[in-house]
Amino acid sequence: MSVHKAISRHAEKQNELYNKFAVLDQRREEYIQQAIELCKAGKEFTTDQINEVTERINILANQRLIPTRKRVTPEMVRSYVDSSK
């Protein structure tokens, strides 16, 4: 295999991995925003969906140069909402 093909293949894999990360990270942000809106409205919410996506991101991060994300707790959401009042 030529060096050019190997580099191209590596770049394609990196790009695919980054695209997966970008989609998951956007979904995570949407779930965080939903939790914030529910908390502001005084409604019940969970961070389960946020943390499910976070785990998937962190699995990708273990494979390559993708940043990890912290798990989110309900207290973190409440604290954010309280500080933004």
Element (H, E) at 20: helix 3-40
Closest CA to 39 of 72, 75, 3: 75
- Give domain limits for the chain: 3-83
How far is the C-alpha of 82 from the C-alpha of 15, rounded, in Å?
38
pLDDT tens for the 85 residues of the chain, in order = 588 788 888 788 888 888 999 999 999 999 999 999 999 999 999 999 999 999 999 998 887 677 888 999 999 999 999 999 8
Closest CA to 47 of 58, 59, 36: 36
Q: How far is CA 42 from the centre of its chain?
A: 25
